[in-house]
């Protein structure tokens, strides 16, 4: 525990082969490790922390454990979230994404490497890093305009740590329909998220080997790379790797418009 928790504040966003997260979520989900045991060990670890960084990391992990309890309380006290938005006005959103777009997202065929690598990781292992869960959920709901409930169901079918309360809370956060939701006008840019959290493209290369030969500055958005770079890496968009399924900038504007219409009607 200590080896990971003391570096958690930074490590929780590192998309390396051995991510700096606890990996305890399946055990918490199925009760093979109890939350009180985890908190007891965390308190012990914190008492041994000798730096400001390690103390901060312990407190950051505690806050994440508290979010888990928070979502359990939301589901317990507001069971309607299992069937719809915590903020009822957002049930009025017109989800215009297509089945084909949803299927492409599920299969990791969107043309956005960080999204596709994340989905292929999920399909191959049954697990996904939390940073990636936020990225792919935001992409499905805000870029593709596919209902968060479809993504929620897909995660529950594939995640080894699938938990109704936490999964529902996370998806409603991403779609801006939850009690603690990300404001609807804050929409992740999948390219900048990729550049920030997988700067060298190591995670992308592991799950998208067809892009492995691309240089770091091209792997996050291959369609923007120069033709000679693509040719040297033996990448042909539309053949060896998909073209982007949507234009993020245009999709963002459309999403802002749809959400603002719903919000203005209910203010």
Is 77 catalytic? The answer is: no
Active site residue 171: yes
Q: Which residues contact 234 (CB under 8 A, 6 or more apart)?
A: 213, 240
- Whether 195 is catalytic is no
> Residue 267 burial by CB count (10 A; 0-12/13-18/19+): exposed, middle or buried?
exposed
User: Is 127 labeled as catalytic in the residue annotation?
Assistant: no
Kindly name the residue from 2, 13, 123, 130 that is annotated as catalytic. Answer: 130
Bridge partners of 241, per DSSP, are 237
Q: Alpha-carbon distance 224 to 244, whole Å? A: 11
- Residue among 61, 105, 171, 173 flagged as catalytic: 171
Q: What are phi and psi of 153, to 5 degrees?
A: -65, -40
Distance, CA of 57 to CA of 154 (rounded, Å): 31
Q: Active-site residue among 16, 64, 89, 231?
A: 64
Strand partners, 237: 241
Residue count of the chain, please give it. Answer: 267
Calpha distance 111→113 (Å, rounded): 6
Active site residue 130: yes
What is the distance between the alpha carbons of residues 130 and 128, in angstroms, rounded to a whole number? Answer: 6
Phi then psi for 167, rounded to 5 degrees?
-65, -45
Active site residue: 2, 13, 95, 123, which one?
A: 95
CA dihedral in degrees (219, 224, 229, 234; nearest 10)?
70
Active-site entry in 61, 105, 127, 148: 148
Q: Do residues 15 and 197 lie in contact, with contact meaning Cβ atoms separated by under 8 Å?
A: yes
Positions marked catalytic:
64, 67, 95, 130, 148, 171
């Amino acid at each position: 525990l200590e080896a990971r928790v003391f570096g958690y504040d930074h490590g929780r966003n590192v998309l390396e082969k051995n991510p700096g997260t606890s990996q305890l979520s399946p055990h918490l989900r199925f009760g093979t490790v109890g939350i009180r045991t985890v908190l007891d060990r965390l308190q012990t670890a914190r008492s041994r922390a000798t730096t400001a960084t390690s103390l901060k990391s312990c407190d950051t992990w505690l806050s994440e454990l508290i979010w888990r309890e928070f979502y359990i309380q939301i589901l317990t006290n507001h069971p309607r979230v299992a069937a719809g938005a915590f903020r009822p006005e957002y049930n009025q959103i017109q989800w215009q994404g297509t089945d084909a777009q949803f299927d492409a997202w599920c299969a990791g065929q969107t043309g956005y490497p960080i999204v596709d690598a994340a989905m292929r990781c999920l399909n191959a292992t049954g697990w996904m890093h939390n940073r990636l869960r936020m990225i792919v959920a935001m992409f499905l709901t805000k870029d593709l305009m596919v209902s968060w409930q479809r993504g929620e169901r897909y995660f529950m079918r594939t995640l080894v740590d699938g938990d109704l309360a936490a999964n529902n809370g996370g998806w409603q956060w991403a779609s801006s329909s939850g009690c603690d939701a990300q404001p609807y006008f804050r929409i992740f840019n999948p390219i900048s998220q990729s550049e920030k959290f997988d700067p060298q493209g190591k995670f992308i290369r592991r799950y998208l080997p067809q892009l492995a030969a691309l240089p770091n500055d091209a792997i996050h958005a291959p369609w923007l790379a120069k033709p000679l770079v693509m040719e040297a890496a033996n990448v042909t968009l539309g053949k060896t790797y998909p073209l982007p399924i949507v234009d993020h900038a245009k999709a963002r504007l459309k999403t802002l418009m749809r959400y603002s219409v719903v919000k203005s009607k209910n203010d």
